[in-house]
Amino acid sequence: MKDIAWVIDPKNDKFEKILFRMRTFASGLLESKNIDLTFIAAPSLSVKILSMPQRKNLYLIFKEAVTNVAKYSKAKYCSVTLKNEGNNLVMEIFDNGVGFDINRSLLGNGLTGMKKSGEELNAELIISSKIDHGTLVHLFLAPL
Ligand SMILES: Nc1ncnc2c1ncn2[C@@H]1O[C@H](COP(=O)(O)OP(=O)(O)OP(=O)(O)O)[C@@H](O)[C@H]1O
Ligand SMILES: [Mg+2]
Which of 33, 60, 76, 100 should be mutated for ligand 1, with most atoms under 8 A from CB?
100
Can you tell me the distance from the alpha carbon of 12 to that of 71, in angstroms, rounded to the nearest whole number?
28
Sign of the Cα torsion 72, 77, 83, 86 reads negative
Specify the ligand 1 atom closest to the Cα of 99: 4
**Class of 2-141 per CATH?**
alpha beta
- How far CA 86 is from CA of 24, 48, 62, 79, 90, in Å, comes to 27, 13, 21, 22, 10
pLDDT tens per residue across span 67-104: 999 999 999 999 999 998 888 899 999 999 999 998 87
Q: What are phi and psi for residue 132, nearest 5 degrees?
A: 70, 0
User: In sequence order, what are the beta bridge partners of 138?
Assistant: 92, 126
Structure confidence at residue 139 (pLDDT): 96
Closest-CA residue to 62 (of 103, 90, 33): 90
Cα-to-centroid distance, 67 and ligand 1 (Å): 9
Longest CA–CA separation in the chain, Å: 42
Ligand nearest to the backbone CA of 35: 1
Selection from 136, 57, 36 nearest residue 92 by Cα: 136
Is the shortest distance between the CB of 26 and ligand 1 below 6 Å?
A: no
What integer pLDDT is reported at residue 47 of this predicted model?
64
Ligand 1 center from residue 8 Cα (angstroms): 26
For the whole model, what pTM was predicted? 0.92
Ligand 1 near 100 CB (within 6 A): yes
Give first-to-last CA distance, the chain, whole Å.
25
Q: What is the DSSP letter of 79?
A: E
* Mean pLDDT (whole number) for 105-123: 88
